[in-house]
Structures are given as structure tokens and as C-alpha cells.
Chains A and B, each alone.
Chain A
Amino acid sequence: MHILKRLLACLREYKSTTILTMVFMLGEAVLETFLPFLTANLVNQIQSQAAINDVLRTGILLTIMAIFSMMCGGTAGFTASKAATGLSKNLRHDMFERVQTYSFENIDKFSSSSLVTRMTTDITNLQMAFMMMIRMGLRSPLMFIFSVVMAFIMGGKLAMAFVVVIPVLFVGLLLIGKNAMPAFRRVFKKYDKLNESIEENVRAMRVVKGFSREEYEKKKFDTAAEDIRKDFTRAEQIIALNTPLMQICMYFDMVFILLVGSKMAIIDHSVDIGQISAMITYGVQILMSLMFLSMIYVMVTMSAESAKRIYEVLEEEPTLENPEQALELVSDGSVDFENVSFKYSAQAQKFALADINLHIDSGQTIGIIGGTGSSKSTLVQLIPRLYDVTEGSVKVGGVDVRNYDLEVLRDSVAMVLQKNVLFSGSIKDNLKWGNPEATDEEIQEACRLAQADEFIQTFPDGYDTHIEQGGTNVSGGQKQRLCIARALLKKPKILILDDSTSAVDTKTDALIRQGFKEFIPETTKIIIAQRIASVQEADQIIVLDNGSVSAIGTHEKLLRTNQIYREVYEQQTNGGEK
């Protein structure tokens, strides 16, 4: 219930539209229940050979009511659409806004594909359910109540027909819904799994064929599909009981009203023909509104899952807070790690980084080397406070990073991520991420430094060349150089390259490093690399092994003293002519 409350709070400017919808639905429901009442009058007038004028008067009244009902229903349809799509607009906005405040830890927790589903499919589901709720959710119970009241007022004893039928139908529909829902939920879960495995197959078709596993996959699929068929059939069979239940109730009503009605009419004239005809109409209305109610019940419960998933995004607390009295200035590019330990989650048994102590002077060039899983990326991500340390302290410019304003800190510490992304738009648009006010000269300068200017100039559209989503239309090496240029435009105090030149050839790689040395000597440069050549000339090289520092020193020193470093070096140069 609190989930619903939280989500409905997002209605905001569409609150009045929602209420309006309900008012109009109310109007429609009232009018529609009066229609049979007046029609019964009309029938009686005809039967009693009343004056033509009376008949016409009732007819005109009825027509006006129908027109009003049309206007109410039409307007409600209109406002309901506005309210429901408005709600989903606000929800999407709020979710997007919330995600923007997420820390890396929050993002890791959700995974981007799950966030995408929550902001698209789940919102669409909720929108449908909401629209149904404010239209039918009000109309059906109202119609039901009005019809029952009218039936009792008009039909007198004839209304007894409903006394029996309504509880039977109500309980029946409830039982069916209760049994069907878990069955469907189970089936849909299995169904999703089946589709996932199909997707896996489509993606891995080369593997399947490469290992000649076609028959094996078919068999596996047939078993899973057959399993779903059984469950699905059972679930649908339960829900299919609705139709005969509904019909038999309707039939019972008809027979009862006709039989008892005619008896009452003939024996003591206690009902007239108009009443009998109205009762039949009310009977249909009552049963239909019950049917709608059960449909709404099913739909709303089904969308509860989506609502929960949206709620989770909205209520996720960002794990990184901006400090209250934040420092607005980073004095220099020095970095200190003091007894730093880190693990990705409180539950994790192993520390990703353990007891790290480092000092980096402002303007130094630092190389970091280490095997897969040695936590190289983790180490540098602590500097711009993408994650917070578990123990110890990381300092930039002599101050703990947790004391800086986040935006200031991240503007001073530029990081080129390993898994980097360019966005759709022109090259210039992408570069301006680093500095929205950058002039063309500044952009070109940064690109020259990142050795990107040359290839950009060879494109027919130069800096206006369009980049496809994900940057698929430039090569890996070009993409990396654009990302470096983008980071350079920030004019940072500290520049971190996380394996950012792996696809760049060694010669260009060397030119980039040369440029750094000449043109941004003040900036602290931290370079993670696989290639020894990329870090060889660094002031200090940090060798990481399994989350702790194995050694720190210059190339020459490490070659002499550190076994890991020597092994990597020999592996890379062994047999080479260089």
C-alpha cells in the first residue's frame, strides 16, 4: 500500500485531471443506471397505450441522458489518458532524476539493463493499470451498486434473484482469480526464462554450431517448452472457468425473473412488464460489472510487480553524500592513500584492496601494473570518490576526498574509464562533455595532445562527424583517444587513464605520453596499463597483486627487485628485437 501511495504522489499536476476523470466516470455510471429505469417507464407507457406526447417526452429525456452519458464517458476517456500518461511521464522523470544521484555502487546494484526495463516496460504496464483503475476501477463498483440498488427499488421481490446469484458469482470469481494468479505468475516467470534461453541461443549460435550441439539444444528446449505448455494450459483452464460461471449465473437470473415475474404479474399484478424488462437489463449490468471487477483485480495484481520495481528505483538511497560544508577548491594534484582498505559490499568476505599506503606528489607520472583481478581499477576509482573507502582515508591535495564538493572533486580529477562510452552526437558534442564552454581552439588543442586531431581531420565532416550510439563508427583506438581528449578538456589537476590506450599502437601511445610531459607537467598523471612500455618512464610504478601493493619504484628498480614486474617484462619482450 505504501508503494502505491509513493507512486501516486508522482501524479502532481495531474491530480486534478485524475479527480476529474473519476467525477465524469461517476456521472456516466449514474446516467447509465438510470437509462433502464426510464426505459421501463417508456415500455409501460407504450403498453398502457399512453398518449404519443408522453412517449415522446420520455424518449427525448432518454436521448438527452444518453448524450450526457456520452459526453461524460468521452471526457473521462480523454482525461484518463492525460492523467495516466502524465503519471508515467512524471514517474520516468523522477526515476531518471533519481538515477542521476546514484553512486557507482547503486548503479552496480541495479545493472543498466534492469534500469532500462524498469523505465520502459514497467512504466508502460503501470500506465495501463492506472488508466484501467481510474476508469473501470470506479465505474464498475459504482455500476454494480447502482444497479443493485435500482434493481431492489424497482424489482421488489424480483430482486431476490440477485441475492442468490451475486454472492455465488462473487465467491466464484474470487476463487478463480486467487487460484489463477499464482499459476500465471509462475508461468510468466518460466516463460521469461525460456525466452532468455532462446536469446542465449541466438547470441551463441556460433558456439552451438561450433560444438555441433544443435540436437542437444533442441531437446533441452523441447523439454522446457513442454513444461511451460502444461503449466500455461492449467493456468488458462482455471481462468477459462470464468465464462461458464458467468453464463450460468446469467441464465439463472433470466429464468428466475421470467418465471417469478410472470407469476407475480398475473396473480396479483405486483410487477408490470416494464419492471420485468428492466430487471433483465439490470441483471446483465450487475454481472458485467462483477466480471469487470475481477478483471481489474487480476490486472492490478499483475502490475504490482512492476510497481514494486519502479518503487525500488525511486527509493534507492544514494550511497554517496555530498558533504555539508564542502571544500570548493582542490589545491594541488597530490594524492595520498593512508591505510586504505576497500570492499565492494559489506557482505563481501574478501577485501578488494587491503591496507594501501601511497604518496603521490603533484605533477608526478605514476604507472600501475598488475594482473586481472589485482584491483588496479578499484584503486584509482577511490581518488575521484566513485566509491568510498571502507577503512582509512584517501586524500587529494592533502584533504580527505570526502570533504570536497563532489562536483569540484570530479572536475579536478579526470578519469578515463576502462569501459568507456561515447554518446550519439557529433565529435564536438562529445568532447564538450569535458567543458561545455570550450572554444574550438581549446578542443583542437586537447585533441592534438591526445593524438586525435590528425584522424579527426581526415573525416569529411571533421569535428562535426556524427558518432553512432556506443561509438560504433570509430575504431577502438580512435575511441580511446577521443575519450582522453574529452578528459583533458576538463583541465584537471589529476588525470587517470584506466587502460585507456590498449588499442592504440605503441608509437602513438608514446607520443601521447610525450605530450603529457611537455604540455601538462603540472597535472598528476596516473596510468594503468598492460604494456610495460606505457609505464616504463613513470616516476613511480606501483605493482599491484591481489589487492595489495607488491612493490613501488622506478622501472630499473623494479626490474631488479620485483619478481612479478620482471616476469611481465620478460613475457612481453622475450624474443623481441626491441
Chain B
Amino acid sequence: MPKPVYSKKPNKDVFPRLMKMLFEFYPKLVPITIVCIIFSSVASSIPDMYIQKVIKIIVEALESGWDWSKASEQILPMMMFLIVLYLISTVAITVYSQMMAVITQGFLNKMRQAMFKKMQNLPVRYFDTHKHGDIMSYYTNDIDALRQLISQGLPTLLRAGTVVIAVFFIMMYYSFWLTLLTILGVIAMMLVSKSMGGGSAKYFIRQQKSLGNAEGYIQETMNGQKVVKVFNHEKTCQEEFDEINEQLFQDSYRANAYANTLGPIVMNIGNILYVLVAVIGGVLVLNHVKNYSFSGAVLDVSIVVAFLNMTKQFTGNVNQVAQQINAVVMALAGAERIFNMMDEEPETDEGYVKLVNAEISADGQVKETKKHTGHWAWKHPHKAEGTVTYTPLQGDVRMVDVDFAYEEGKTVLHDVSVYAKPGQKIAFVGATGAGKTTITNLINRFYDIADGKIRYDGININKIRKSDLRRSLGLVLQETNLFTGTVMDNIRYGKLDATDEECITAARLAGADDFITRLPDGYQTELTGNGANLSQGQRQLIAIARAAVADPPVMILDEATSSIDTRTEAIVSAGMDKLMHGRTVFVIAHRLSTVRNSDLIMVLDHGKVIEKGSHDELIAQKGHYYQLYTGAFELE
């Protein structure tokens, strides 16, 4: 998995913010865990003191010829204390290690849920301007790095840090000289790690790059493998790949070699330090060199022996801290990316006009009702007068002099006016980039217009609650996205409380029933990977059924039948005409036979409407549309 790190230092606020969240999520568990970690770490450093004391007693006993009963008077209480300490420490360790599991997973879960919630509230613009792979890596790479940090990094830092401090003071308690020696050893270790770590980082960056190259090449060839076969190109591809593969090997072998050599070197510096402490300690003892320490004790063998273990603990823990630093930096960089997403401006919704079920009496009076009547109305409260008016939902959409730009200064739509009466079928035709899809993006407010007006049943669409506005617009996009689940589930997505019969009726209207019933499990066939087991045309048919089951007053079909053959398209089109009878339909299509029977065809060019009229009118005009139709232009 690619880990783009090393590049930028994380923001200073990230760590405090993360800690604050952690404490807020678990105001009791986190402090308890911290106390347990610190306690167990201190408890694990104290025995070194006792080892020294016990050995001292043994030496004394041997020198002055005590028998066991005399020695045991001193040794046994010490052992009792040690046992008690160990027991408590074991309890503390058990408690914190179990709690860490709860905290880590709980925190990650809350984080994930918060991220997903935030993501659902982000505007479409966010998804259009961010790579999907990047968004996904927040949930995978970055969350994994956080998991590492919370479950291992932080506890290790806390534990190792505590041990280092505790051992340091114990060492100072016995001997300044030997402490100084240990510190010098640790400094040597750090210097080596730092210089070698630099080389390792350099090659890791190279490895990352050549890994990216190799992945790119593999991806491209695997996707085009059938073309490779058709052109007998296997050998050439193999040669090219071997070259890239060799480069990857060179870089990753060096990167790993640095990292793998560093460990044994640092460890053995620790070993040499261990020997040095023994030898120098021995020399000091034998020469009765004056000892300086907090305890004022005379340097003897027992102190040297105790020091040997303390040296190991000290260097080992310093090493652990050093090893975690990289992981911490990586996790914080990940956390920063996650926070950046969480801090994005959400999609705002200032709309207050709602879509409600309505009863329409014979005289045209509209009344709100809880029941599903098949009629809908816009409920429009007027604050100033304190009144509420109801407008029946009809599907009358007007755009007046609309201007729009995705990026400032790059106008995509200019002075576009469209008037769609209920029951009309309006088609948009034009080259790629002419602004056809943009118009649909504006009607359902995926994007907001820069200038002009859009009215839905006479109401400014900015006043309509977004969820209600979109509920009233059926949308079928060129890029068909299906969800994991059965075919039935996917159709029901359009109307969550639809019965099986309703879904099947919708599928029939969309001309999808025929192929669905021929699938191995019919409507219960499981779809995975965006319906990978279906053809593009079949997926489009399901998407149309999904929109049809919602039974919307306005339908937007954006290249919805582009992959369906013309004969099936005719069936779909007949079904849709039946469903949408008396309702508004917007059609965008590349294939002119799809738009031919529209009431109004708008020809767009560079964001402007250059021609409009019915098919016959436009053909008669012998303008742009005529040329398209007779094949003089390519629609791309």
C-alpha cells in the first residue's frame, strides 16, 4: 500500500486536536488507561533496584558467613514486596491492554462514522475536484496509521518514556559515573540511527516512486491484456516490464537493506555498552574509585550487576521511542488529511419550501395530508405574513438567463434560457463540453448558478429544501453506478418503501424485466463491483428502472441509453413515454435518434443555445442540427 510520507511536517494543532477528541470520547477510560500504563512501567523498573539489593545481601552473607535463616530475614520481606508489586503491575497491564483495544476501536469507529457523515454532507463539487483514490485513502491508509498510533505508538511512547525516566533516576541513585557512560552509549546509538535513517529515507522515497511506476504499468497492461494478445505483443510487454521490475528491485532492496542493517547495529551498540558498563564498572570497583550518587552508596559488584540490566532496559526503551517517532509522524500526517476533509465547507441548505403529500379537491383546493395520495404539493411558508401557501407539484421548470462557471473566469453556460412545460420532453444536443450536463447539475442544485433564475413550479429553487427538490427529480446518469446488493435492492433504491410489485413494474417500464428474469437468480441476483457481471447496457436499464420506481414528476436522462442498442432503446423509450405522460423529461443524448421525438431540442455550443426547435423545425432550418443529423460533424 503506498504511503506518501516524509514530505511535509504535520501541522502543530493536529496532535492536541486528536488528544482532545480522544479524551472527549472516553473521558474515564483514557485517564484510567494512562494511569495503568505509567504505574506498570514504573513497577517494571523497580525490580532492578531489588535485584541489586538482593545480590548485595548475598554478597554480604557470603562474606560474613550468615546462614540462610539470617539472610532470609532480609530477603523474604523484599521478595514479598516484589511479588505484591508484580501482582498489581500484572493487573494494571491486563487492564490497560484490554482497554486499549476498546479505546482504539471505539475511537476509530467514531472517527469513521464522523468522516462518513461529513462526506455525505459535502457538496458534489468536492467529489468532482478530489480524486476518488485520495478520498478512499483517508478511510484506509490514514485510518490504519491512526490505528497504529493509538494502539501502539502512544502507549509505547508513554511506557518507554516512563521507563527511561524511571531507570534514569534509579541509575543516578546508584552511580553518576555509570549513568554518564550509559548516556554516552545512547547518544552514539542515536547518531548512528540518524545518519543511517537519512539514507534509508532517500531510498524509501525512490522505492515509492518505482513502486508507483510498476503499479501503473501493471494496471495499464492488465487492463489492455486483450489488446496485447490480439497484437501478439506479449514479448515486448514482458521486456518493458522486466526493466521497470528491475528498477523497483534495485530501489526497494537498498531501502530495505538500510532499514534492516540499522537494527542489528543499534542493538549491538547496546551490547558493547553492556560490556563497557561491566568492564568499566569492574575497574572502578577494583580500584575503589570514589562513587558519586544520590544514595551515596559505595560502588560494589551488586551495583554493577544491577546496572547491567538497567543499561539494557534503558537502551531498549530509548530505541523503542526512536522507532515510534516515524510512525507518529506518519499518523499525524494522516490525521491532518482526515481533519482537512472534516473541516471542508458542507453543502448548505437554506431551503424552507417542502414537498408534502396533498389532497386536491375537485375545485382545485390543495390540502396537506399525511397519507400517500399520489399527489404532491410544495408547502411554502411566508414568514412576513405568517401564512402558508400550497402549490401543486407539476414539473414546470424555467431557466432564465442563467450564467455558470465551475471555476471563476471560465464561463461554462452563458445566458441560457429554457422553458419546460409540464408534459414536455426537452432535449439537449451538443459537443462534449458544450454544457449539456451542466444544465442538469444546476436544476438539481449539485451546483448553484452564478447569475439568472431557475424556477420550479414558479418557486425559486434556492427556496426549496434540497432533499425535497432532488426527490422530485428522477436522475439517470451516463455513468451508471449500482450498489452491492440484489437487483431488487438496487431498483428499490429509488423508493425505499416500494413493494416488490412496484419494483417489477418499474423494471418492465424500463425494458429491464426481460433480461433480469433471465439472470440466474432473477431479481434476487447479487450484484457486486458496480454490477461487474452485467453489460453496460443492462446496467443502464437497471438505473432507468431505479429512477422509474421513484415515479418523479421530472426526469433527467443524461446519456441514459447510450449503451443500449437502438431496438431495445425503442422499447425503453416507449415505456418511459408511458410513465412520464404529462410530466417533464430532460434528455441529453449523443445519438440523435434518441432525441428526435422531443418537443423541443436545444442545440448547445460553448455554453450558449445556438438553435432550438422541434426536430422538423431544426431540419428545415438547415443549420447546425441539420449538419449533425446528416453526419457532417462528429459529436465529440
Query: Which residues of A in the span 241-261 have a Cβ within 8 Å of any Cβ on B?
Result: 241, 243-244, 247-248, 251, 254-255, 258-259
Q: A81-B260, A89-B246, A417-B226 are in contact. Are A46 and B286 (CB under 8 A)?
A: yes
Is B253's CB under 8 angstroms from A85's CB? yes
| Complex Cα–Cα for A436 and B232 (A) | 11
B241 contacts chain A at the CB level, 8 A cutoff: yes
A289-329 vs B, Cβ < 8 Å mask (1 yes, 0 no): 00000000000000000000000000000000000000000
23 A-B pairs (CB sep. < 8 Å)? A52-B283, A52-B287, A70-B269, A73-B263, A73-B265, A76-B264, A85-B249, A85-B253, A92-B214, A97-B238, A112-B223, A200-B530, A201-B116, A206-B481, A214-B121, A236-B151, A240-B101, A243-B94, A247-B90, A262-B58, A266-B62, A277-B305, A503-B636
Known A85-B256, A424-B220; further 9 A-B contacts with Cβ < 8 A: A43-B305, A62-B275, A70-B272, A112-B225, A131-B260, A237-B102, A373-B515, A414-B230, A507-B631
A204 contacts chain B at the CB level, 8 A cutoff: yes
Is A67's CB under 8 angstroms from B272's CB? yes
**Min C-beta distance of A451 to chain B, whole Å:** 10
Instruction: Give the contact stretch, choosing among B78-86, B324-332, B380-388.
Output: B78-86
B425 contacts chain A at the CB level, 8 A cutoff: no
Is A266's CB under 8 angstroms from B71's CB? yes
Is B124's CB under 8 angstroms from A206's CB? yes
B23 contacts chain A at the CB level, 8 A cutoff: no
From B117, B257, B635, give the contact of A218 (CB < 8 A): B117
Q: A55-B282, A89-B248, A505-B635 are in contact. Are A99 and B215 (CB under 8 A)?
A: no
**Min C-beta distance of B493 to chain A, whole Å:** 6
| Complex Cα–Cα for A132 and B574 (A) | 64
**Min C-beta distance of A547 to chain B, whole Å:** 12
| Complex Cα–Cα for A197 and B120 (A) | 13
Is B105's CB under 8 angstroms from A229's CB? yes
Query: Which residues of A in the span 117-146 have a Cβ within 8 Å of any Cβ on B?
Result: 119-121, 124, 131, 135
A174-204 vs B, Cβ < 8 Å mask (1 yes, 0 no): 0000000000000000000001111111111
Chain A residues within 8 Å of B139, by CB = 195, 198
- Between A209, A433, A577, the greatest number of chain B beta carbons within 10 A of the residue's beta carbon is seen for A209
Question: Whose C-beta in chain A lies nearest to the C-beta of B219?
Answer: A116
B406 contacts chain A at the CB level, 8 A cutoff: no
Is B225's CB under 8 angstroms from A107's CB? yes
Chain B residues within 8 Å of A201, by CB = 116, 119-120
B451-487 vs A, Cβ < 8 Å mask (1 yes, 0 no): 0000000000000001110110101010001111000
- Between B54, B132, B269, B632, the greatest number of chain A beta carbons within 10 A of the residue's beta carbon is seen for B54
Instruction: Give the contact stretch, choosing among A158-166, A438-446, A473-481.
Output: A473-481
Q: A280-B51, A384-B230 are in contact. Are A99 and B565 (CB under 8 A)?
A: no
From B50, B59, B432, B593, give the contact of A47 (CB < 8 A): B59
Chain A residues within 8 Å of B481, by CB = 200, 203-204, 206-207
Chain B residues within 8 Å of A111, by CB = 532
Chain B residues within 8 Å of A55, by CB = 279, 282-283, 286
Is B232's CB under 8 angstroms from A407's CB? yes
Q: A209-B470, A233-B102 are in contact. Are A410 and B230 (CB under 8 A)?
A: yes
A28 contacts chain B at the CB level, 8 A cutoff: yes
B371 contacts chain A at the CB level, 8 A cutoff: no
From B83, B113, B220, give the contact of A255 (CB < 8 A): B83
Is A210's CB under 8 angstroms from B475's CB? yes
| Complex Cα–Cα for A147 and B569 (A) | 78
Question: Whose C-beta in chain B lies nearest to the C-beta of A532?
Answer: B566
| Complex Cα–Cα for A198 and B137 (A) | 11
From B97, B237, B564, give the contact of A240 (CB < 8 A): B97
Is B238's CB under 8 angstroms from A96's CB? yes
B619-636 vs A, Cβ < 8 Å mask (1 yes, 0 no): 100000000011111111
Per DSSP, are chain B's interface residues mostly helix, strand or loop, or mixed? helix
A6 contacts chain B at the CB level, 8 A cutoff: no
Chain B residues within 8 Å of A217, by CB = 116, 120
| Complex Cα–Cα for A247 and B408 (A) | 63
From A32, A86, A406, A577, give the contact of B249 (CB < 8 A): A86
Chain B residues within 8 Å of A478, by CB = 636
Chain A residues within 8 Å of B47, by CB = 254
> 7 closest Cβ contacts across the A-B interface?
A73-B264, A506-B631, A77-B260, A59-B279, A204-B481, A70-B268, A81-B256
Is A211's CB under 8 angstroms from B67's CB? no
Query: Which residues of B in the span 9-68 have a Cβ within 8 Å of any Cβ on A?
Result: 40, 44, 47, 50-51, 54-55, 57-59, 61-62, 66-68
Q: A43-B301, A116-B215, A225-B109 are in contact. Are A386 and B257 (CB under 8 A)?
A: no
Q: A81-B260, A423-B224 are in contact. Are A371 and B565 (CB under 8 A)?
A: yes
Is B267's CB under 8 angstroms from A99's CB? no
**Min C-beta distance of B456 to chain A, whole Å:** 15
Query: Which residues of A in the span 85-103 have a Cβ within 8 Å of any Cβ on B?
Result: 85-86, 88-89, 92-93, 96-97, 99-103
Instruction: Give the contact stretch, choosing among A354-362, A457-465, A550-558, A567-575.
Output: A567-575
Query: Which residues of A in the span 490-527 have a Cβ within 8 Å of any Cβ on B?
Result: 490, 503-510
A5 contacts chain B at the CB level, 8 A cutoff: no
Query: Which residues of B in the span 392-434 have a Cβ within 8 Å of any Cβ on A?
Result: 432
Is B263's CB under 8 angstroms from A77's CB? yes
Is B484's CB under 8 angstroms from A197's CB? yes
**Min C-beta distance of A78 to chain B, whole Å:** 5
Is A572's CB under 8 angstroms from B566's CB? yes
Number of interface residues of A (CB under 8 A): 162
Q: A81-B257, A82-B257 are in contact. Are A211 and B493 (CB under 8 A)?
A: yes
Chain B residues within 8 Å of A96, by CB = 218, 221, 237-238, 241, 245
- Between A28, A100, A420, the greatest number of chain B beta carbons within 10 A of the residue's beta carbon is seen for A100
Chain A residues within 8 Å of B484, by CB = 196-197, 200
Q: A195-B136, A209-B470, A244-B94 are in contact. Are A99 and B222 (CB under 8 A)?
A: yes
Query: Which residues of B in the span 553-595 have a Cβ within 8 Å of any Cβ on A?
Result: 563-570, 593
| Complex Cα–Cα for A104 and B471 (A) | 44
Q: A63-B275, A421-B224 are in contact. Are A119 and B286 (CB under 8 A)?
A: no
- Between B287, B471, B481, the greatest number of chain A beta carbons within 10 A of the residue's beta carbon is seen for B481
Is A104's CB under 8 angstroms from B229's CB? yes
| Complex Cα–Cα for A267 and B65 (A) | 10
Chain A residues within 8 Å of B631, by CB = 505-507, 509-510
A208 contacts chain B at the CB level, 8 A cutoff: yes
Is B252's CB under 8 angstroms from A85's CB? yes
Chain B residues within 8 Å of A135, by CB = 260
Is A266's CB under 8 angstroms from B257's CB? no
Is A476's CB under 8 angstroms from B282's CB? no
Is A107's CB under 8 angstroms from B282's CB? no
Is B113's CB under 8 angstroms from A119's CB? no
B301-326 vs A, Cβ < 8 Å mask (1 yes, 0 no): 11011001100100000000000000
Is A247's CB under 8 angstroms from B272's CB? no
Query: Which residues of A in the span 392-437 have a Cβ within 8 Å of any Cβ on B?
Result: 406-407, 410-411, 414-415, 417, 419-421, 423-424, 433-434, 436
Question: Whose C-beta in chain A lies nearest to the C-beta of B248?
Answer: A89
Question: Whose C-beta in chain B lies nearest to the C-beta of A370?
Answer: B565
A23-63 vs B, Cβ < 8 Å mask (1 yes, 0 no): 00000100010010001001101110100100110110011
From A99, A247, A280, give the contact of B93 (CB < 8 A): A247
From A59, A232, A265, A411, give the contact of B275 (CB < 8 A): A59
A578 contacts chain B at the CB level, 8 A cutoff: yes
Chain B residues within 8 Å of A510, by CB = 631
| Complex Cα–Cα for A167 and B238 (A) | 52
From B132, B256, B268, B619, give the contact of A203 (CB < 8 A): B132
Is A115's CB under 8 angstroms from B301's CB? no
Q: A277-B308, A505-B631 are in contact. Are A47 and B54 (CB under 8 A)?
A: no
Chain B residues within 8 Å of A76, by CB = 260, 264
Query: Which residues of A in the span 530-578 have a Cβ within 8 Å of any Cβ on B?
Result: 530, 564, 567-568, 571-572, 574-578
Is B230's CB under 8 angstroms from A244's CB? no
Question: Whose C-beta in chain B lies nearest to the C-beta of A75?
Answer: B261
Is B253's CB under 8 angstroms from A82's CB? yes
